[in-house]
Structure 1
Amino acid sequence: MDDPTVEIYEKVGGDAPFYALVEAFYRGIETEPLIRPMYPKDMTDAKKHLALFLIQRFGGHTQYGEQRGHPRLRMRHVPFVIGEAEKEAWMTHMMAGVDATPEFAPFRQVMLEYFESSAAFLVNKSEVPSVG
């Protein structure tokens, strides 16, 4: 089974588009009342970690893994309560980052599918339906 995500890094020309995506993503997070509290006050390291993770995940160098080990996404997100609303807020800002980075336009759908799947995987708060 081919994974089309692993070819994106080379096709967009390296690191720069991923850093641009991360900057755009975090501009949205800065003013996002629902999930901003999940991030540290100084997001410098968070930005670096996300950029390196995305670079590695989308077929680039493995500096993220060399520095931080296996991504362990679920474990790293356990301290945070993540429900559908949080997932959707995160997706809104991540896709805004993708859309703000022209190099990713040809890969928007495959990236949307990856991010949607990953975000759904991190949901750890069950939504209880309200009864009449």
Structure 2
Amino acid sequence: MTPGTIYEAIGGLETIDKLVTAFYKRVAKHPLLIPIFPEDLTETARKQSLFLTQFFGGPRLYSEERGHPMMRRRHLPFEITPSRRDAWLECMAEALTEAQIEEPYLTAIFEKLTMTANHMMNTPEP
């Protein structure tokens, strides 16, 4: 762990795992998100855990396993509309609360994820 990182401040991998579990529990039930996610979310959640670990300043697990994140490119096959972005962020906001991530990290994390979610949008609303 790099000292002074969000990853370290929120409790490392244990907290990332709580966050990812809480998030995908919601994704699996969200009518706007179900169509763009696989039925079995196990591998998707594992990759998300690797990514968030790295994204928040922890070990570069995602890059070591999968190369450069290139998140927009990896998401291009999926229709990510503004409403799906909002649904994704809603699920993440609830997951951050469930994982008991406190301020100032809650706001910092949500801001970083909001910027990323905005960047992932690739399809206008129908």
Please name the residue that 1:91 is paired with: 89
Which of the pair has more CA radius of gyration? 1
What TM-score does the superposition give when structure 2 sets the normalisation length?
A: 0.91
Moved over 6 A (4+): none
Structure 1 letter corresponding to 2:113 = F
Instruction: Say whether the 8 Å CA contact 2:33–2:88 is kept in structure 1.
Output: yes
What TM-score does the superposition give when structure 1 sets the normalisation length?
A: 0.87
Number of residue pairs matched by the alignment: 122
Please name the residue that 1:109 is paired with: 107
The RMSD of aligned alpha carbons is 1.3
Aligned mate of 1:73, from 48, 62, 71: 71
SS in 1 for 2:51: helix
Shift of 1:13: 2.4
Shift of 1:77: 0.6
User: Which sections of structure 2, spanning at least 5 residues, go unmatched?
Assistant: none
User: Which sections of structure 1, spanning at least 5 residues, go unmatched?
Assistant: 1-5
Can you list the C-alpha shifts for 1:54-85, whole angstroms capped at 9, x where unaligned?
Answer: 00110111111110111111111101111110
SS in 2 for 1:117: helix
- Give me the whole-angstrom Cα distance separating, in 1, the residues matched to 2:13 and 2:66: 18
